[in-house]
Structure 1
């Protein structure tokens, strides 16, 4: 038996696949719209936090609180998994950051296909890190795509799409949350027309495709021979993980928040002659109190965290580490 919060005409029988907290926005919107949730499929419970206690994914927690069955297969490839899904007789499967590619026998289960909420304007930024890639590229506009899954990586037909602005202070975290909120709204508007057959998918133009890759810890290291604007975008894109960092006196120095600034903000007579990577004081009243010279402009440091210490703003950090001014990073 599936679960829904009230009965509505046009309600669909849905298996939902998703794992992280921002996927819950999509899941709860389906529930609130009166669709019949047959099951929530998510990743396995795993240790988390300092105590390493085993925790369930946020989607599993939500599902149990709302009486929706939870399935946590270690793999989708065994035939019995597809058989279990098929026994539920879904009209459609909705995927929102599940974390695995669906094999052909799973894709074939629902009568009306598998719809995926993807946080980019496909075919731009296919792959696992589209939100971070948009920020890394300095995009001012991004969006959400509802697509029909096929066997490729984000290559299926586009069912619906909407553009949204990237805010100046967006990080991957804030932008991801907002894109899945918008994605939930777009999906809600899309499902009735998809169910009735009024809406069909449009093939992607593969010649326009770009890709995003899975991020690694090393992607966070700041190279001050690059322009300040690119480094600021890197800080935003890699928050909260893997995080932007450099090294000072052999310790990791995380850069939690930064802004691009011009050379004339430096409290230095010959700022244009300062070598890339040099820490400089900035003029009073600027958005940051200290910065690092780059190949083009200054990376204003708003918030940092030295290895083994708490996070602090630039002023507080300088009060405890006066010798930071004039340092050459990384060191």
Structure 2
């Protein structure tokens, strides 16, 4: 039996399990990979390939970098020449025009980490955490020109645990999506028809620096969601004596207290009042320094119960 041919389009680490699952499947052949160009990052601004490119090269696959699909006619010609059964897109990093979506023989397919139509858009995992959703999941969707508007082939659900971080949830959804993808492609080839999305859509806007900020107007539960969402990188952050202090771990507390008041300092951490509740900082990282226990930070900063948290110098 002829293998199903796939051109894979993806860029971040989230997409790597899907690429690996496709390559490991006996009835699927990945005939090419499209990813974002190498870009500088880190303190030294060294140029790095995307995680997908690095893994694809390890697997011996042909890789093509594409920054702007709508303007790259050579890349479109390359895709058409591959004549794949499927174009599989997993967090590629750019919208694909109609000409690209029409290239595969069977369908353009997307792995989207939310329960569509909830959280269409750029940051569905983080928005689910920040909103306090009880569950999320992955949808295998037929791609259309609209933003995550296509009909659904298959979905899988998972509860969001109170200890889930952005990192842990992203890793779990990546593996779930990879398994669902390879289980679904054969069914699509056999005639599985997608179903329209049902319900009112919500949109997962791109994340900003403000989303990471621990604001004194927020409830303790909101602090907890932000800390977990951005742990361990890039980290939620709090102003302290005119600089940023990253908060990498903590826990809401039932104790009420004035907003911004230091309620307790002990080996478990620093408890800060947030009105009807409070929040205990457990692991923090000052600017330019390594992460440390909040208790050690409190000793160095000479924090004491009853004082106001020093936002500015």
For Structure 1 versus Structure 2, the TM-score category normalised by the shorter chain is over 0.9
Structure 1 residue 140: deviation in Å?
2.2
Equivalent in the alignment of 1:306: 286
Q: Greater CA deviation, 241-250 or 223-232?
A: 241-250
Taking a change above 3 Å as real, the CA distance of residues 324 and 36 of structure 1, as seen in their structure-2 partners, is farther
Whether 2:42 is the aligned partner of 1:61: answer no
Q: 2:140 aligns with which of 134, 139, 146?
A: 146
8 Å CA contact 1:144–1:161 kept in 2: the answer is: yes
Match of residue 122 from structure 2? 128
State the 1:297 CA deviation: 0.8
SS at match of 1:218: helix
1:201 paired residue number: 194
Where structure 2 has 5 or more consecutive residues not aligned to the other structure, the ranges are none
**What's 2:245 paired with?**
253
SS of the residue 2:303 aligns to: helix
* Aligned residue runs from structure 1 range 260-271, under 5 A: 260-263=252-255
Q: State how far apart, in whole Å, the 1-side matches of 2:212 and 2:178 are.
A: 30
Larger % of strand: which? 2
Q: CA deviation at 1:308?
A: 2.5
After superposition, where does 1:290-329 map in structure 2 within 5 Å? 290-323=270-303, 325=305, 326-328=307-309
Distance in 2, matches of 1:324 and 1:252, equals 20
Distance in 2, matches of 1:240 and 1:150, equals 34
Partner of 2:104: 110
Query: The residue matched to 1:22 in structure 2 has which SS?
Result: helix
* CA 1:82–1:251: 2 relative to 1, 3 Å: same
1:119 aligns with 2:99: no
What TM-score, normalized by structure 1, do the two folds share? 0.89
* 1:1-331 alignment, distance < 5 Å: 9=1, 11-34=3-26, 35-78=28-71, 79-197=73-191, 199-205=192-198, 207-263=199-255, 272=256, 274-281=257-264, 288-323=268-303, 325=305, 326-328=307-309, 330-331=311-312
Distance in 1 between residues matched to 2:141 and 2:48, nearest whole Å: 31
Runs of 4+ in 1 over 6 A off after TM superposition: none
Pairwise CA distance, 1:157? 0.3
Deviations 1:268-310 (A, max 9, x none): xxxx4x32011221677xxx43211113311111111112222
Q: Which moved further from structure 2: 77-86 or 162-171?
A: 77-86
- CA contact 2:265–2:295 (8 Å) conserved in 1: no
**Residues 234 and 10 of structure 1: is their aligned pair in 2 closer, same or farther, counting only changes over 3 Å?**
farther
